[in-house]
């Protein structure tokens, strides 16, 4: 098998490792929405989930395999522990995909062997070999990961990898599971594997890393220089603890510094051939979609996709950029999909113009989604004279979110002022059409609204984060509210956009409460089903 890669394979694990970030739990429809966008972005592999973890994960992987895993689409992958049950479940889940992959793993560091697995090195080698061979009976595309490779003894790691490749692994992934290594160490690790695993030419070397020391992207780029040809990453770098290596930073790092990286791929320094298959103009939109659906805000100074990534406040910088962008900008904002904030629609614009502009922005909506979004567009257009592309994106993402529709905000009314006690009245509607009304006094208008909603829904929770962001400049800008609340150790997020911040706050809170309420209902149904069985 010839595994010489002239470019980098982008393996996106936003829907698996990224979703493990506290509060980032997605439902099946939301996962499918993100998977479709990842396909438009041009990722090579989508790790759609951990099929054995839960019925919901299995259904999500299977649905994504069926809808997104087309012949021209990305490879659809499911994670599986090195266990027969995990691997078989993963195989069933990815079966609808034209191109499916099973990604199996077992830990190899001494600390994991001693305290987690309680197994010897020889036992781990035997398990890895057996489980890779078992996965190979279901698909030709098998990936093997020695978990905590960054802290594994190199000689033992070489042995495990050699046996896994001999058993049929076509990709071997080297995870820095706890984000412990530095770039020079990680590069040396990949170099050592290239030099000491006899059959390494029969597999692609992949890397996976966490950002605990803020070094994940730097580690990956060093790994590329030493022979890694698949990068496992997430949108916005979301993931457990400090997150994963950020896809947008890796892709743009390789793009902007092509001349530096070209020689490591056997290319001439001046080659303009892209090093990845990513459509960079889809990056910003993908970032916004993932941020809104997961409730994980992107920090303003985040590289590539942060609000300030292309902003200049310093007078010296502004003067330089006006004369020539290259003075202070190493890439064009339009390259990552950031368009000028042009006015495109107004309150007199019709449905066809609305649909056409959304298509130009890359949104393909169903008739139902279009109708919902168009109603919201008209509401916003009555309040704002001019609607920008960014406004449109906020409207669309807010309307097509697939949160459980258990409670819906019908009315929010507040009374507040410098010498008044903030009071709120809310009306929620249940799926059965029943109206639930209550009122409350709070320390501020939003606090009063939330207290009134809590009295209606009556589900104990702790609000742990409340954030408001303006979509565009101006006093009539749409405001986006993101909230996160906790219940029995689990975190649930909610998001909403509206020209009225109080209304958006109420909608975001109900959005999160709906997720919490749906989770409690599912838990109750599982208990009933278990008792019946």
> Average pLDDT in the 501-522 region?
89
* pLDDT tier at 20, thresholds 50, 70, 90: confident
pLDDT of residue 77: 98
Please answer whether residues 211 and 245 qualify as being in contact, where contact means their C-beta atoms are separated by less than 8 angstroms. Answer: yes
Q: CA nearest 496: which of 357, 403, 390, 360?
A: 403
- Is the pLDDT assigned to residue 475 strictly greater than 80? no
pLDDT of residue 492: 86
* pLDDT tier at 72, thresholds 50, 70, 90: very high
> Average pLDDT in the 296-311 region?
85
Instruction: Say which residue, 96 or 499, is predicted with more confidence.
Output: 96
Please answer whether residues 79 and 143 qualify as being in contact, where contact means their C-beta atoms are separated by less than 8 angstroms. Answer: no
> Average pLDDT in the 342-353 region?
74
pLDDT of residue 318: 41
pLDDT of residue 282: 94
Please answer whether residues 170 and 145 qualify as being in contact, where contact means their C-beta atoms are separated by less than 8 angstroms. Answer: no
Please answer whether residues 143 and 104 qualify as being in contact, where contact means their C-beta atoms are separated by less than 8 angstroms. Answer: yes
* pLDDT tier at 159, thresholds 50, 70, 90: very high
Instruction: Say which residue, 325 or 158, is predicted with more confidence.
Output: 158
- Is the pLDDT assigned to residue 327 strictly greater than 70? no
> Average pLDDT in the 168-180 region?
97
Percent of the chain with pLDDT over 70: 90
Q: Which of 28-32, 130-134, 176-180 has the lowest mean pLDDT?
A: 28-32
* pLDDT tier at 380, thresholds 50, 70, 90: confident
pLDDT of residue 413: 96
Q: Tens of pLDDT along 77-136? A: 999 999 999 999 999 999 999 999 999 999 999 999 999 999 999 999 999 999 999 999
Instruction: Say which residue, 393 or 317, is predicted with more confidence.
Output: 393
pLDDT of residue 311: 64
pLDDT of residue 357: 81
Instruction: Say which residue, 205 or 480, is predicted with more confidence.
Output: 205
* Token representation of residue 12: 């996106």
Alpha-helical regions (H) of 326-405: 351-360, 367-383, 389-400
Q: Which of 164-168, 252-256, 399-403 has the lowest mean pLDDT?
A: 399-403
pLDDT of residue 414: 96
Q: Give CA–CA dist 420/264, Å, rounded.
A: 67
pLDDT of residue 472: 66
Residues, the chain = 533
Give the list of residues 6+ apart from residue 453 with CB closer than 8 angstroms, or none: 426, 428, 438, 506, 509, 510, 513
- Is the pLDDT assigned to residue 422 strictly greater than 90? yes
Average pLDDT across the chain, whole number: 89
Q: Which of 261-270, 315-324, 334-343 has the lowest mean pLDDT?
A: 315-324
Q: Tens of pLDDT along 507-517? A: 999 989 988 88
pLDDT of residue 533: 60
Q: CA nearest 309: which of 301, 319, 320, 298?
A: 301
Q: CA nearest 428: which of 438, 440, 415, 418?
A: 438
Query: HEC profile for 270-332?
Result: CCCCCCCCCCHHHHHHHHHHHHHHHCCCCCCCCCCCCCCCCCCCCHHHHHHHHHCHHHCCCCC
pLDDT of residue 355: 87
- Is the pLDDT assigned to residue 485 strictly greater than 60? yes
């Amino acid at each position: 098998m010839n595994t010489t890669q002239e470019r980098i394979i982008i393996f996106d694990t936003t829907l698996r490792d990224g979703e493990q970030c506290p509060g980032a739990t997605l439902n099946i429809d939301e996962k499918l929405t993100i998977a479709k966008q990842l396909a438009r972005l041009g990722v090579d592999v989508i790790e759609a989930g951990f099929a054995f973890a839960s019925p919901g994960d299995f259904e999500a992987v299977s649905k994504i395999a069926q809808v997104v895993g087309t012949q021209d689409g990305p490879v659809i992958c499911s994670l599986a522990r090195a266990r027969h049950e995990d691997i078989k479940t993963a195989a069933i889940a990815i079966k609808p995909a034209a191109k499916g992959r099973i990604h199996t793993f077992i830990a190899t560091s001494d600390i994991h062997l001693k305290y987690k697995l309680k197994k010897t090195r020889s036992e781990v080698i035997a398990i890895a070999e057996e489980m890779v061979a078992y996965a190979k009976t279901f698909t030709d595309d098998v990936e093997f990961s020695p978990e905590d490779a960054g802290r594994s003894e190199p000689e033992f790691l070489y042995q495990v990898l050699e046996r896994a490749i001999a058993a049929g692994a076509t990709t071997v992934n080297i995870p820095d599971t706890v984000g412990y290594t530095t770039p020079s160490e990680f590069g040396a690790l990949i170099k050592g594997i290239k030099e000491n695993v006899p059959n390494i030419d029969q597999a692609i070397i992949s890397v996976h890393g966490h950002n605990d020391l803020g070094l994940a992207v730097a580690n990956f780029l060093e790994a590329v220089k030493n022979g890694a040809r698949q990068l496992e990453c997430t949108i916005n770098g979301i993931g457990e603890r400090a997150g994963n290596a950020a896809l947008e930073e890796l892709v743009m790092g390789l793009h902007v510094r092509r001349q530096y990286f070209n020689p490591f791929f056997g290319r001439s320094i001046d080659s303009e051939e892209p090093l990845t298959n990513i459509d960079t103009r889809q990056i910003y939109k993908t970032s916004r979609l993932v941020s809104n659906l997961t409730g994980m805000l992107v920090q303003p100074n985040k590289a590539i996709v942060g609000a300030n990534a292309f902003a200049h406040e310093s007078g010296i910088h502004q003067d330089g950029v006006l004369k020539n962008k290259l003075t202070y900008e190493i890439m064009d904002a339009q390259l990552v999909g950031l368009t000028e904030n042009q006015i495109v629609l107004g309150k007199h614009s019709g449905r066809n113009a609305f649909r056409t502009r959304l298509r130009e922005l890359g949104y393909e909506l169903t008739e139902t989604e279009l109708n919902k979004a168009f109603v919201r567009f008209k509401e916003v257009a009555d309040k704002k004279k001019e609607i920008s592309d960014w406004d449109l994106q906020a409207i669309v993402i807010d309307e097509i979110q697939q949160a459980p529709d258990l409670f819906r905000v019908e009315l929010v009314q507040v009374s507040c002022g410098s010498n008044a006690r903030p009071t709120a009245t809310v009306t929620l509607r249940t799926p059965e059409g029943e109206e639930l009304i209550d009122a409350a006094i709070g320390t501020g208008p939003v606090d009063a609204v939330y207290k009134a909603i809590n009295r209606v829904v009556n589900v104990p929770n702790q609000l742990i984060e409340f954030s408001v962001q303006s979509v565009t400049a101006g006093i009539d800008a749409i405001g986006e509210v993101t909230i996160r609340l906790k219940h029995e150790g689990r975190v649930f997020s909610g998001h909403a956009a509206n020209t009225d911040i109080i209304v958006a706050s109420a909608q975001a809170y109900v959005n999160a409460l709906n997720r919490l309420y749906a989770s409690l209902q599912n838990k109750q149904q599982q208990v009933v089903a278990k008792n019946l069985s």
